[in-house]
Amino acid sequence: MHHQSIALKPTQFPFPVHLHPPNPIPSRLVFPPISFPLYPNTSITTATASAPRSVLSCRGFHIPVPNHPPRSLSSSNPTKTVDVATLGNLCVDIVLNVPQLPPPSPDARKAFMEQLSSSPPDKQYWEAGGNCNMAIAAARLGLNCITIGHVGKEIYGNFLLDVLHDEGIGMVGMSEETDPVSSPSAFYETLLCWVLVDPSQKHGFCSRADFSKEPAFSWMSTLSEEVKSGIVRSRILFCNGYDFDEFSPGVIMSAVDYAVEVGTSVFFDPGPRGKGLIRGTAEEQKALRHFLSMSDVLLLTSDEAESLTGMANPILAGQELLRKGVRTKWVVVKMGSKGSILITASSITSAPAFKVKVVDTVGCGDSFVAAIAFGFIHNIPSVTTLAFANAVGAATAMGCGAGRNVATLKQIVELLEAPDINEDDQFWNELLGEHADSKEVTVLSKVVVNGNNGRINHVTLQKVVSELLPQLKSSQLEGKLSS
C-alpha cells in the first residue's frame, strides 16, 4: 500500500542478509520513482508535493518536539471541539539501504519483506507516515487534531502513539470484536512501509498490503461508538485514496455518511490511488463516486483531476467535479511548480508557487492540505488560503522528509517574511483568460497591476502576507513554537 510498484531487472534471490540504514531519511515516499536525483540547494519553485525525490537527498535530520500554538476552537457549535480528524492511513515508514532491490516477482518480494521484518532496525530510521503527516502539519498550525485508525499493540504501534502524543494529537482506535483463533495476528499489526534504497539510489517499497487482495483491516465492518464520537466532535474529516488499502469500501462510505449526518465537513484527496480506483472493483468505484459527490472539499493534482474527468484543463475539470458533486464547495487543484487553483461555483482563484531551495518534497502535499483546512475553518479568503497553503508546502520542502520533519510554524513565518513567488503571466493569462467574463477570477501577484484587466482581480503578495503574519507571529510571541 501507499506506493507505486517498480519494474526492475531480475536479480538473484535470496538477497544478502546485510541490511543497513542510509543516512537518516525517516520519511515516506509517496511518488513514483525517478531516474534523476533532486539535489539539495537546487533552486526551483514548489507549491505542493508534486515532484518526485531522491531518497538520499538529505544528509541528516533534526526532529523537534514542538510546543504548539493555542488550539483553534472557532465554532459556534459547542460539540465541535476538534478541528481535523484523519481517517485511517496510519503507518510507520522505515528507510533502509539494501544491496539490491527486490525483483518484481510477488513471491520473491514477499520473502524479502519477511526477511526485513525479522530484525527491526534502530528506531532512528523509523518515522510516522501516511495521514500522520497531515495531522502533524495541521497541529503545528495550531489546529486541534485527532487521528482515527488502527495501530497494533507492538513496538511499531507504541512508537506511532508516542509520536502522536508528543505532537499533541489525539488517537481514536478503530477496533472490532473478532475471533483471535481464526484470524492471523498479522492482521492486527501496525502497517509498515519499507522504503528500500540500492547503491545506485533507485528505490522500491514493501508492505504486507501488497500481497493481499483484501484490505489490510478487512475484519472491520462497522464504525465503533468511539469512532462515531470522534467524527461528531470534528469540524473536518480528512480521507484519502489510501484508505481503500486498509478498510472495505462499505466502512469508508459509512464514515462519510456519518460525517454528513452530524455536520462534519469531508475533505478528500484521492492521491495516486485514485487512478486505480477508477478501474477497481464495483464496490471501489461506487465508493469513489460517493466520495466525489459527498465531499465538501476535493484536493487533487492536475493529473488526478484529468484522470477523474477526462479534461486536461484543470479549471474545466474542477468545474465538472463541482457540477457532479452534491455537497462540493471547493475543488483545489495542485499544479506543482506552477502553483495551485481553488475553484468554487462562482469563482476561480489562483496562486503561483513560492520559490524555495528544495531539499525534499515528501510531506509537501500533506502540509498543503493542512493549510487548506486552516483556511476553510477560519473562513480566510480564498487567495490568502491558497497562498498560505503554498507557503506551508514550500516550507516543508526546504527540510528533510515528512512525519516529524514537516515545517514548523516558525519556519513558515520565516518564509513569509521574505517571500518570492514564481509568476508566469503567460501561463496564467492563457489558463484564466477564457473564464474572466463568466466567473470572478482572482490572481495572486507580486505587484499591483495598473489598469483594468477584464474581471481579473489581482491581489498582491504583500497584502496577503500582511494579513497572515500578525496572526502567525502572535503565536511566536507567546513562546509556544518549537525552535
> What average pLDDT does this structure show over 408-431?
87
Read off the CATH number of the domain in which 286 is found: 3.40.1190.20
pLDDT of residue 30: 32
Residue 126: phi, psi to the nearest 5?
-95, 150
Question: What SS3 class is residue 44?
Answer: strand
Asked if residue 235 has pLDDT above 80, the reply is yes
pLDDT of residue 68: 54
Question: What SS3 class is residue 256?
Answer: helix
Residue 159: phi, psi to the nearest 5?
-60, -45
For 131-181, write each residue's pLDDT tens digit: 999 999 999 999 999 999 988 888 999 999 999 999 999 999 987 554 444
Q: Which CB contacts under 8 angstroms, 24+ apart, belong to 214-219?
A: 215/244, 215/245, 215/246, 215/247, 215/248, 216/1, 216/187, 216/191, 216/245, 216/246, 217/150, 217/174, 217/187, 217/246, 217/247, 218/187, 218/247, 218/248, 219/176, 219/178, 219/183, 219/187
Structurally, the chain folds into a number of domains equal to: 1
Q: Give counts: helices (H), strands (E), the chain.
A: 14, 17
pLDDT of residue 477: 58
**416 vs 24, which has greater pLDDT?**
416
Report if residue 99 sits inside a domain: yes
Report if residue 253 sits inside a domain: yes
Report if residue 181 sits inside a domain: no
pLDDT band for position 71 (50/70/90)? low
Q: Assign residue 207 a region: left if phi > 0, alpha if psi is -120 to 50, beta otherwise?
A: beta
Asked if residue 66 has pLDDT above 70, the reply is no
pLDDT of residue 187: 62
Place of cell 502513539: 161
Asked if residue 452 has pLDDT above 70, the reply is no
Max CA distance (Å), the chain: 75
pLDDT of residue 174: 85
pLDDT band for position 103 (50/70/90)? confident
pLDDT of residue 269: 96
Report if residue 180 sits inside a domain: no
pLDDT band for position 322 (50/70/90)? very high
Q: Count of alpha carbons within 13 Å of 227, Cβ hemisphere only?
A: 23
Asked if residue 27 has pLDDT above 60, the reply is no
Report if residue 58 sits inside a domain: no
DSSP 266-278: EEEE-TTHHHHHH
pLDDT of residue 362: 77
Contacts of 97 (CB under 8 A, 6+ apart): 19, 20, 21, 22, 196, 197, 198, 199
The answer to whether the CB of 385 falls within 8 A of the CB of 444 is: no
Report if residue 305 sits inside a domain: yes
pLDDT band for position 216 (50/70/90)? confident
Rounded Cα distance, 341 and 358, in Å: 21
Report if residue 386 sits inside a domain: yes
Rounded Cα distance, 145 and 170, in Å: 6
> What average pLDDT does this structure show over 253-264?
96
Asked if residue 423 has pLDDT above 90, the reply is no
Q: Is the torsion defined by CA of 239, 240, 241, 244 positive or negative? A: negative
Rounded Cα distance, 299 and 335, in Å: 11
Place of cell 495531522: 135
Asked if residue 55 has pLDDT above 50, the reply is no
Nearest to 248 by CA among 170, 177, 174, 154: 174
pLDDT band for position 94 (50/70/90)? confident
Rounded Cα distance, 230 and 146, in Å: 8
Place of cell 465503533: 224
Least confident of 3-12, 246-255, 294-303: 3-12
> What average pLDDT does this structure show over 51-61?
37
Asked if residue 39 has pLDDT above 60, the reply is no
DSSP 321-355: HHHH-SS--EEEEE-GGGEEEEE-SSEEEEEEPEE
* Domain extent at residue 350: 76-106+116-175+187-482
Per the prediction, the chain carries an average pLDDT of 79
Rounded Cα distance, 364 and 353, in Å: 12
Report if residue 225 sits inside a domain: yes
Asked if residue 65 has pLDDT above 70, the reply is no
For 362-373, write each residue's pLDDT tens digit: 788 999 999 999
**96 vs 317, which has greater pLDDT?**
317
